[in-house]
Amino acid sequence: MITITNPIQKGFYPDPSICRVKEEYYMVHSTFAYAPGIPVFKSNNLRDWQQIGHVLEREEQLCLKGARVSQGLYAPTIRYYNEKFYVICTNVSGGGNFYVTADDAKGPWSDPTYLKDAPGIDPSLFFDNGTCYYVGQRAKENAAYYGDCEIWIQELDLKEGKLVGESVSIFDGSMKHTIWAEGPHLYHKDNYYYLLLAEGGTAYDHSVVVARSLSVSGPYESCPHNPVLTHRHLGHSYPIQCIGHGDLVESPCGDWFMVMLGTRPRNGCAELGRETFLAEVKWEEDWPVVNPLVGKIMEQQKMLFLPGSDKTKPAGKGDILWTSPLDMRCLGLRENPATLPQRVERGRLFLPFKTVTIEDISVPSFICTRLLSRSFEAWVELEADLMDGEEAGLVYFYDESHYVKAVVKNTAGVNEAVIIKRSGDEVSEWGRTAVTGKIHTIYLKGEDQQLCVEADQRVIADSIELKELCSEMAGGFTGCTIGVYAASSHKESTRSAAFGTLYLDFMD
């Protein structure tokens, strides 16, 4: 028995899907409108994860033009069959449901194959006796209410890249008036086919339920003790909330585990977004029991753990050094930062000043990384010979209308340190403090859901509220990010701002 710490993936790593190949485990997550899309992680013990790549890196693989931050890529599923990896996903902003393949999980991955007549979101693949099945979610034909959904399957011809035969509805939820039956996964164990899915929406009423059948096409019976996992009954003061959207994996020793998403809100706000948690699974009377004798997810949890090295560097830790190619933790909005007209020279990142128009979703020069802790420090040295209307610095970002910019801005030839917070239609400003020279240090410190900002070692603001920059207050499905930023109110030019190392200290 050893103690693990949940979450096993801190920060904005939602909708986990997992598979095992021999002694190694692979996991993927949703990325919505961030790019590159769908990070791939690898582990040999389920506790320590190392990022090895992204599924969607090339422009022809990922179209996010016009996507809002919480649109784009929803709920990928990763599976391995016949010496090939498969990831299936939904791009709600362009094309719908698609799958890609790779011989190696770290890539390169194929261009997407989009599927016709495949409505809904959160698809999965299931391989059984040489047949591939598409497992999907869709609204019922005569839906009685918003979120009245069903789970369906249909054979997928991988050679032709299309669905064949008839689709079959197999389950519409474990309760009367179930909302958002989604995130389906199929497994075959002993005599039964098991359908694992989410219900209740991805907020406080989220849950994991299961049904089983002797035939892949049903009929499926609901588990008598559904939901097999939820925190909806624990009250909003329990430190882990929104538990749901699970995926099962079997170890080489025959032990079973589940990964699932959850949040860790404080004062009703989960700025880190939906994170990934781990639980043990035992089988009793041919039904899964999650964390026996406990029945919930805990932050510190003892479990019979798997053998494997624990020397993997924790995901997301450490400063971001500007390299070519960029650190895998680097993200852009709607386009891979590797495709931006940026360059790296002598350890510095040169970002072009770009015209930013938020309302029509143009793309700024913004390269960011996930926020992994509420208690953090982030700082960067900026070098720029600013012209009128240009600005550069750091951004604490939730979405297009909820962010804090800490920048040096040139207005009519005068450089000023300025902090601008946007929360919906409300815009607040601090600073307008004159600074001199071309080199500036921007420093952010997050503590107790407040932000302190310094520019050139002078405090510009020391208590900016951050609580409303989260899904609970602003809507959406993501978590916060922090990144370097350069923009201009004028036409785009070839001029750039230069950034040194992005120093990051996440304190838990």
Catalytic residue annotation: 15, 182
128 near 105, Cβ under 8 Å? no
Peptide bond into 265 cis (omega under 30): no
> What are the residues whose beta carbons fall under 8 Å from the beta carbon of 337, sequence distance 6 or more?
35, 326, 330, 331, 367
SS3 label, residue 15: coil
152 near 142, Cβ under 8 Å? no
Calculate the CA dihedral of residues 428, 434, 440, 446 and round it to 10 degrees.
-30
Tell me the two tokens of residue 239: 């430190």
Q: Report which DSSP code applies to 220.
A: P
CA separation, residue 43 to residues 6, 18, 39, 392 (Å): 16, 11, 14, 38
Q: Is 233 exposed, middle or buried (0-12, 13-18, 19+ CB in 10 A)?
A: exposed
248 near 196, Cβ under 8 Å? yes
> What are the residues whose beta carbons fall under 8 Å from the beta carbon of 434, sequence distance 6 or more?
414, 415, 416, 417
**Separation CA 381–CA 437 (nearest Å):** 13
321-330 long-range Cβ contacts below 8 angstroms, 24+ apart: 321/347, 321/501, 322/347, 322/348, 322/349, 322/499, 322/500, 322/501, 322/502, 326/367, 327/369, 328/39, 328/51, 328/53, 328/54, 329/51, 329/369, 329/370, 330/367, 330/368, 330/369
**Separation CA 186–CA 106 (nearest Å):** 24
**Separation CA 259–CA 28 (nearest Å):** 11
Q: Is 382 exposed, middle or buried (0-12, 13-18, 19+ CB in 10 A)?
A: buried
Calculate the CA dihedral of residues 299, 302, 303, 309 and round it to 10 degrees.
80
